[in-house]
Structure 1
Amino acid sequence: MTTLPRAPRTQLPLLTPRGPHGSRSHLTCQFRCGNACDQPVPNTSGNGHVRDEISKAVARRSVLQGAAVGTGALVLGGLAATPAAAEPTTARAGVARAAVSGDLGRTAFRAVPPNRRDALVTPEGFRSDVVARWGDPVEKGAPRFDVRRQTPDSAAQQFGYNCDYVGVLPISGSRALLVVNHEYTDPNLMFPADVYDEDTQKRIEILSHGMSVLEIVRGRTPGSWLRADHTRARHNRRISARTAFTMTGPAAGDARLRTTADPAGRTVMGTLNNCAGGTTPWGTVLSGEENFNQYFDASGDLDPRYADSYKRIGVTGAGRGWSSVDPRFDLTTEPHEPFRFGWVVELDPSDPRSTPRKHTMLGRFKHEGANVAIAKDGRAVAYMGDDERGDYLYKFVSRDKMKKGEGAAARRHNMTLLTHGTLYVAKLVGDGTEDGYDGTGEWIRLTSDTTSYVEGMSVADVLIDTRLAADKVGPTRMDRPEDVEPNPVNGKVYVALTNNSNRGSATLPVDEANPVGSSMTRPSLGAPLEQKSGNRNGYVLEVTPARGDHATTTFTWDLMLVCGDPAAQETYFAGFDKSKVSPISCPDNVAFDSEGNLWISTDGNVLGSNDGIFRVPTAGPDRGKVEQFVTVPRGAEACGPLLADKDRSLFVAVQHPGEIDGATFEAPASTWPHTDDFPRPSIAVVYKHA
């Protein structure tokens, strides 16, 4: 279909090279989060820092300029060449080094070195297969993908763009359901020039967001999986802007959720910018709506009633121009539409006719995802991060207890657990000592489904403007809290804190929970380390609930990893020998195997290498030994990850391959997965291959 005038290529703003954006391309910053780093930090509350005054320990560390400081719990090395981990090891003591069972939590491997290859690189003895690509047919009537004959109707039936969260739910001995988020679109890489008019392109982009559910089947080699025939897969489903979502919880029906198309404020079409998620103990999938603020235009003035609310969440009216094809994206005429996004979505993939829901009880902010643990008394506890520089950690504790069993009555009950309960935000306190970065913390109540604990705000106010509510109770501002997941083996909770280019500034000073105000980076492989302001490499926070119970309101914490180049002074790997770990930068998502090992995916590596996935033991003599297991292709982000099939399969979402400045459809920076002459975001599975 050739239609003129053609859609113009997006003109990117002039940005300072390697400024606040780190190693991300300007393309990624533009299309994924609307250049959030170019905007003022939305949180101007002045909230914690961990102590009112920086502890002596932090002050002492802040003046260290390259000197080693002994061999205690925190070891600061010199700035020598980086030794990538080369020695194959196992995840815990007592497991034979030669183990080749295929169990990825126990099998030895030689760490993948940093590289810039246009490939999904795995250790020797492992291989990867692509399971689903952008454009693959999902629903029964979906046409075969043709990049030059895309239509809105085909996009609504095919595997969407830029896959992120990955969930796998078994449905039989050899079959499972693959559930995937589609976070955002990049028209520069999706569309050939001179083929699509601008409005058609926008309609395709809108319908390329959302989620996909696909049936998959085991391959011949243990750990391998294949996409099932979509014409026979009764569970397959595309969730798009044509899918109706029901609002649940106390804020459903509030005046701020009502629009011209939905005067009741209880039904929303579609879900946007879905990042990470989680699979619940009752067999549903949670999905987080993250950078939704960037999709709304303004044909005129913004409604002054919502000035503070818009500002705190980053809604400016400088959107993607979608209002030209869908008037609900015009803030001037539909000022309430942004309030209908920024929620946690729950989908029942086992029932393709079910209506997905948006849970207002879990608050509205830039959700990376949500992950559920069951408290000792049987209540559901959902952990969440707000992915913004200087924002907060949250959790929700249900009012009711989970019912065990697979019967219809238990399932109906469990599907209501996220509609009643209490929402909390976290405050961390450092211990003020020099034996590492650790301390205590508390969960501060914001609201239950019946009572607000924030002065001057109703229950609905707290849930709709959760950031503004949290600002009032003094929680700790963190460095982009993204994935927050409970470890099913040790009961602790692990938080990926990706980075914060503003940490160490007057408005975001360092503290014990956010101790790095300047980081060492490498512009390219083999280049010398360079010092940059801010926390450029991120942390992994380890949280231990009091008495091992997720429902308690107190906890202890420590920074298990201060990420970066092992040769850099500021890095720390749970006390493990820094000469024996892989460099790691910008942790984004986490997962666990049956041994309790932590698996980390990265986004925005500033150490010169492609992003990847790393295995890290959380206990025993190898605790903190970071080993790179996978690198993803050029320009891509490693998403997921997910250990499945008794730890024989590692699923990874390869998002935005080739998203490098200057790349276009005609001049791609990557062609991965190398099935076409242009890149296709895809889901891959990695497994042991004898």
Structure 2
Amino acid sequence: MRPGSGEGRRTLPLLTTHVGGRSALTCRFKCGDACAHEAPNTTANAYFGDVVSDALSRRSVLRAGAVVTLAAAGTAAVTGGLTDAAAAPAGPSAPGGTAGAGAAADGARGLRFAPVAPNTADAVTVPAGYEQNVVVRWGDPILRGAPAFDPDRQTAAAQAGQFGYNNDFLHLFDLRGERGRKVLVANHEYTDEVLMFRGYDAAAPTREQVEIAWAAHGLSVVVVAEDDRSGALTPVVRHRLNRRITATTPFEVTGPAAGSELLRTTADPSGRTVLGTLNNCAGGTTPWGTVLSGEENVNQYFANAASVADATTRARLARYGFTKGASDRKWERFDDRFDLVKEPNEANRFGWVVELDPMDPDAAPRKRTALGRFKHEAAQPRLDRHGRPVVYMGDDERFEYLYKFVASKPMMHGRSRAAHEHNMGLLDEGTLYVARFTGNSPAGQIDGTGTLPEDGEFDGTGEWIPLASGDHSFVEGMTAEEVYVFTRLAADKAGATKMDRPEDVEPSPRTGRVYVALTNNSNRGKAGYAAADEANPRNTNKHGQVLELMEAHDDPRARRFDWRLFLVCGDPEDPSTYFGGFDKEKVSPISCPDNVAFDPHGNLWISTDGNALGNHDGLFGVAVTGRNRGQVKQFLTVPVGAETCGPVIREDRVLVAVQHPGEVDGADAANPASAWPDGPGRMPRPAVVNVWRADGRPIGV
């Protein structure tokens, strides 16, 4: 019996759902019903495996250097293939775990816990022997003078001093000089006004409601204290580092597109200062101690794209999916910058990677234009052997692309002011690339069903295609500024590979391999859309996959890479699923991978968004090397209607952001679908949860 089977599993009530297991309410507020609209990418880019002769083997392609590059791309060293024995898939006889004590003992180090069974409980469910506490909730005061949360007396001023709504990315910094205290940084992706305000009228929101929503977006920085007698964490209210970043906080625009005419507006004729950040999804942390936050589904906040006079501007807005008519939230009624007829360039000022220094509450956060503009799920850097940052990024929409940015200068070590100022400019200079994938199997063996090709893996090679570097464009017909501001259009021209919603992208700190969460794509293979290919091998892909990418010569600055699908997600009993070659009878079912992170032992942890298997979303750990490679084990589940975000995996604790609890069709603030976290009669509130081992020992050992 595989982990999670047996009692405790039941069918969810029938709900109106969109892609995966998401409710229509989630789709409405999270991404502006992106899955209900035609995908903005209407280009005819061919999957590159389609133009490679079936007679060529993968190695002969490598030897011949048959992957074609853009004329401006130059040459690069060719990778030597997938030969790392330590990462080779385990065979079906590899030791695995079953539900109960055996599973805890048999997992990889860091994953030795009894897997949580898939369930539909209105709670955060954790393994036996683990404890939890809610660290901070939506509306909890974190700034001096902020009142206690009262949903019936909420104001914009109160929300600006309270923890924001729908926490997503998390990071926990140790606070130097303050024993037992840490700095928690959280993104706040979006607001769901139906669940926030009793009697909310979507056709006629009030100014107060709109301004509360502005204040509930952005990021929170809050110092937390650890209980000496347990692993619990609690906020330190009014700490000097506590901070709220909102939709009206001034941001500095930096990098090669700063000051561009494409970024200038009536309020900001310089094109260098933007008010606010929106739809901050996942993120990353830099080796120099800052947080990177991705602005994702920003298109939904703006109105009247179809009425913009200039045809070129309309086409650019359409490529990013901007709302044709009135926006759902009606913000354009209260601020002209959200009306694209009045301020068409305001749209270009969102969709960036934001950098924030959590240790300097007076420093303006920055929007980094050198990293390109698209629906950023996340941005996670690593250093090459010379200390230069390389940042990997996904564009989270159906048929969009995978990117990386290679900085020009190395990081400066030390705590001096000079080092800090140098490092704060690293992400403004470098080269932006987009990925093109080539499969190594004959096209006839990739039929859209998920059946493995004859060589036993979905795998192949790929290349990073340069788009722009500084003020130089590699894309014919586009200036460098246009490449940065309209990166999707540049990637279209470059011939990038259309992927199944590339979300979080994380390089392993141990092996250097890069892991890409591809969440799902219900339109794959449908009439008028790209068919399955070896990197995206299932049509009408409901469950998603995780891709493993190996740079040539283990050099993150390389232009060539090898890749393979590490996980093809879904029910292990479904023949289209694949778990790194591990015995599928001994894994937890997983659907719709979203955020990814690594633990201190080198295991990959995956949170899910929109579980399409009929159970609640959760957090899963999986070994990526050794005999347990591919053994997925579920660590926790989240409440009714919620999504698992974050996560942070430390030796002594696991943190997750429980996003949009109770976001179920038919629910509203007066009729909640969840009683989490405060119990019956209370409004469900997004919150951060901290999990630790009851006996005080490290997680999963």
TM surpasses 0.5? yes
How much does 1:170 deviate?
1.1
Residue 664 of structure 2 aligns to which amino acid in structure 1? I
- 1:152 corresponds in structure 2 to 156
Residue 515 (str. 1) matches residue 533 (str. 2): no
Q: Does the 8 A contact of 1:372 with 1:382 survive in 2?
A: yes
C-alpha distance in 1 between matches for 2:580 and 2:232: 33
Residue 277 of structure 1 aligns to which amino acid in structure 2? G
- 2:621 corresponds in structure 1 to 615
- 1:584 corresponds in structure 2 to 590
Structural RMSD (CA): 2.3
Given candidates 325, 340, 347, the residue that maps to 2:356 is: 347
Residue 318 of structure 2 aligns to which amino acid in structure 1? K
Residue 455 (str. 1) matches residue 464 (str. 2): no
Q: Does the 8 A contact of 2:305 with 2:323 survive in 1?
A: no
- 2:214 corresponds in structure 1 to 206
C-alpha distance in 2 between matches for 1:357 and 1:321: 27
- 2:633 corresponds in structure 1 to 627
- 1:465 corresponds in structure 2 to 486
C-alpha distance in 2 between matches for 1:549 and 1:182: 34
How much does 1:316 deviate?
2.5
C-alpha distance in 2 between matches for 1:85 and 1:297: 52
Given candidates 338, 347, 365, the residue that maps to 2:347 is: 338
Deviates more, 1:506-515 or 1:360-369: 506-515
Q: Does the 8 A contact of 2:608 with 2:617 survive in 1?
A: yes
C-alpha distance in 1 between matches for 2:48 and 2:522: 18
- 1:108 corresponds in structure 2 to 112
- Once the two structures are superposed, residues 197-229 of structure 1 have per-residue CA deviations (whole angstroms, 9 ceiling, x without a partner) of 62221121121101000001112356432211x
Residue 476 (str. 1) matches residue 497 (str. 2): yes
- Once the two structures are superposed, residues 116-136 of structure 1 have per-residue CA deviations (whole angstroms, 9 ceiling, x without a partner) of 000000000011110010001
- 1:13 corresponds in structure 2 to none
Given candidates 25, 34, 37, the residue that maps to 1:36 is: 34
- 1:122 corresponds in structure 2 to 126
In structure 2, the residue corresponding to 1:51 is in which secondary structure?
helix
Given candidates 369, 377, 386, the residue that maps to 1:377 is: 386
Given candidates 658, 663, 672, the residue that maps to 1:659 is: 663
C-alpha distance in 2 between matches for 1:278 and 1:43: 26
Q: Does the 8 A contact of 2:89 with 2:630 survive in 1?
A: no
Q: Does the 8 A contact of 2:90 with 2:627 survive in 1?
A: no
- 1:544 corresponds in structure 2 to 550
Given candidates 114, 132, 135, the residue that maps to 1:131 is: 135
In structure 2, the residue corresponding to 1:365 is in which secondary structure?
coil
How much does 1:301 deviate?
2.3
C-alpha distance in 2 between matches for 1:683 and 1:202: 24
Residue 490 (str. 1) matches residue 494 (str. 2): no
Residue 376 of structure 1 aligns to which amino acid in structure 2? R
The correspondence of residues 80-229 of structure 1 with structure 2, limited to 5 A, is 85-88=98-101, 97=105, 106=110, 108-172=112-176, 173-193=179-199, 198-221=206-229, 223-228=231-236
CA distance change for structure 1 residues 107 and 19 in 2, over 3 Å: closer, same or farther? closer
Q: Does the 8 A contact of 2:290 with 2:355 survive in 1?
A: yes
Given candidates 674, 681, 691, the residue that maps to 1:686 is: 691
Q: Does the 8 A contact of 1:614 with 1:626 survive in 2?
A: yes
- Once the two structures are superposed, residues 294-318 of structure 1 have per-residue CA deviations (whole angstroms, 9 ceiling, x without a partner) of 0012398213230221011001343
- 1:501 corresponds in structure 2 to 522
Residue 364 (str. 1) matches residue 373 (str. 2): yes
- 1:253 corresponds in structure 2 to 259
C-alpha distance in 2 between matches for 1:505 and 1:74: 34
Q: Does the 8 A contact of 1:131 with 1:682 survive in 2?
A: yes
CA distance change for structure 1 residues 90 and 245 in 2, over 3 Å: closer, same or farther? farther
- 2:313 corresponds in structure 1 to 306
Given candidates 423, 426, 431, the residue that maps to 2:435 is: 426
C-alpha distance in 2 between matches for 1:623 and 1:136: 41
Residue 595 (str. 1) matches residue 601 (str. 2): yes
In structure 1, the residue corresponding to 2:409 is in which secondary structure?
strand
CA distance change for structure 1 residues 302 and 55 in 2, over 3 Å: closer, same or farther? same
In structure 1, the residue corresponding to 2:251 is in which secondary structure?
strand
- 2:75 corresponds in structure 1 to none
C-alpha distance in 1 between matches for 2:305 and 2:566: 48
Q: Does the 8 A contact of 1:245 with 1:270 survive in 2?
A: yes
Q: Does the 8 A contact of 1:85 with 1:627 survive in 2?
A: no
How much does 1:184 deviate?
0.5
Given candidates 22, 38, 44, the residue that maps to 2:20 is: 22
- Once the two structures are superposed, residues 543-584 of structure 1 have per-residue CA deviations (whole angstroms, 9 ceiling, x without a partner) of 111111111111111100000000001000000000000000
CA distance change for structure 1 residues 568 and 662 in 2, over 3 Å: closer, same or farther? same
C-alpha distance in 2 between matches for 1:516 and 1:312: 25
- 1:640 corresponds in structure 2 to 646
How much does 1:505 deviate?
2.3
TM-score (norm 1): 0.87
Residue 292 of structure 1 aligns to which amino acid in structure 2? V
Q: Does the 8 A contact of 2:305 with 2:322 survive in 1?
A: no
Q: Does the 8 A contact of 2:607 with 2:645 survive in 1?
A: yes
CA distance change for structure 1 residues 107 and 607 in 2, over 3 Å: closer, same or farther? closer
- 2:399 corresponds in structure 1 to 390
In structure 2, the residue corresponding to 1:472 is in which secondary structure?
helix
C-alpha distance in 2 between matches for 1:90 and 1:374: 36
CA distance change for structure 1 residues 682 and 55 in 2, over 3 Å: closer, same or farther? farther
Q: Does the 8 A contact of 2:103 with 2:114 survive in 1?
A: no
How much does 1:193 deviate?
2.2
Residue 296 of structure 1 aligns to which amino acid in structure 2? F
- Once the two structures are superposed, residues 336-393 of structure 1 have per-residue CA deviations (whole angstroms, 9 ceiling, x without a partner) of 1100000000000000000000000000000001000001121100100000100000
Identity of aligned residues (%): 53
CA distance change for structure 1 residues 236 and 187 in 2, over 3 Å: closer, same or farther? same
Q: Does the 8 A contact of 2:662 with 2:684 survive in 1?
A: yes
The correspondence of residues 439-454 of structure 1 with structure 2, limited to 5 A, is 439-454=460-475
How much does 1:32 deviate?
0.6
Deviates more, 1:292-301 or 1:176-185: 292-301
Q: Does the 8 A contact of 1:55 with 1:511 survive in 2?
A: no
Q: Does the 8 A contact of 1:74 with 1:435 survive in 2?
A: no
Residue 536 of structure 2 aligns to which amino acid in structure 1? N
How much does 1:489 deviate?
1.2
Given candidates 404, 423, 431, the residue that maps to 1:414 is: 423
- 1:315 corresponds in structure 2 to 322
In structure 1, the residue corresponding to 2:472 is in which secondary structure?
coil
CA distance change for structure 1 residues 268 and 125 in 2, over 3 Å: closer, same or farther? same
C-alpha distance in 2 between matches for 1:47 and 1:461: 20
CA distance change for structure 1 residues 484 and 221 in 2, over 3 Å: closer, same or farther? farther
C-alpha distance in 1 between matches for 2:15 and 2:530: 23
C-alpha distance in 2 between matches for 1:681 and 1:545: 38
Q: Does the 8 A contact of 1:250 with 1:361 survive in 2?
A: yes
C-alpha distance in 1 between matches for 2:476 and 2:336: 36
How much does 1:18 deviate?
6.2
The correspondence of residues 222-237 of structure 1 with structure 2, limited to 5 A, is 223-228=231-236, 230-231=237-238, 233-237=239-243
Q: Does the 8 A contact of 2:17 with 2:23 survive in 1?
A: no
- Once the two structures are superposed, residues 153-203 of structure 1 have per-residue CA deviations (whole angstroms, 9 ceiling, x without a partner) of 111111111000001111134211100000001111101228996222112
C-alpha distance in 1 between matches for 2:175 and 2:294: 24
Residue 307 of structure 1 aligns to which amino acid in structure 2? R
Residue 635 of structure 1 aligns to which amino acid in structure 2? G
Q: Does the 8 A contact of 2:305 with 2:317 survive in 1?
A: no
How much does 1:98 deviate?
9.3
Residue 212 of structure 1 aligns to which amino acid in structure 2? S
C-alpha distance in 2 between matches for 1:223 and 1:601: 22
C-alpha distance in 2 between matches for 1:606 and 1:552: 36
How much does 1:241 deviate?
2.2
C-alpha distance in 2 between matches for 1:332 and 1:323: 10
